[in-house]
Amino acid sequence: MSKGVRGYWLLTWIGLLANVAALPVIGLVAFAGPPLQAANISLAISLAWPAAIVGIVASAGLLAERRWGVILAIVALSMALSASLPYGIVRLVLVRDPHALSGLSLLMAIFNLLALIYWCRPAHRKSVRL
């Protein structure tokens, strides 16, 4: 890789490891029990697990230096952001646990937003090989 984008490999590996680690964690949170158990299960099945799986495939594409990996990374981060931000806000208002799951969800939303901004940079869309 002659012309690399700064942070490409680090974020690719962090994304792969985080998405693989997220699969069992999502299951633990979803089936942990009340409060909001129905919301936890439906959000896990409909959005969290698919976002993690798309993130794993995106990381594989990024490791292979394919352009579609950047597109899938944007899709996966958008899916994760669309789940974690509203869930964190609703859980913060209804359950009032700012230091537990709602705080973690809002923190993940911030990290997902920062990663989304990184992968949307024009340097990833140049005609040179990543």
Per-residue pLDDT tens digits of the chain, which is 130 residues long: 435 788 899 999 999 999 999 999 999 988 887 777 888 899 899 999 999 999 999 999 999 999 899 999 999 999 999 999 998 898 888 887 767 888 889 999 999 999 999 999 988 877 445 5
Rounded Cα–Cα distance for residues 32 and 29 (Å): 5
How would DSSP label each residue in 12-29? HHHHHHHHHHHHHHHHHH
Domain boundaries, the chain: 8-123
* Residue 47 structure tokens: 């959005």
The predicted structure's pLDDT at residue 95: 83
* Residue 127 structure tokens: 């005609």
Give start and end residues of each alpha helix (H) in the chain.
8-30, 37-43, 49-63, 67-94, 101-119
The predicted structure's pLDDT at residue 3: 57
* Residue 32 structure tokens: 């942990």
The predicted structure's pLDDT at residue 40: 87
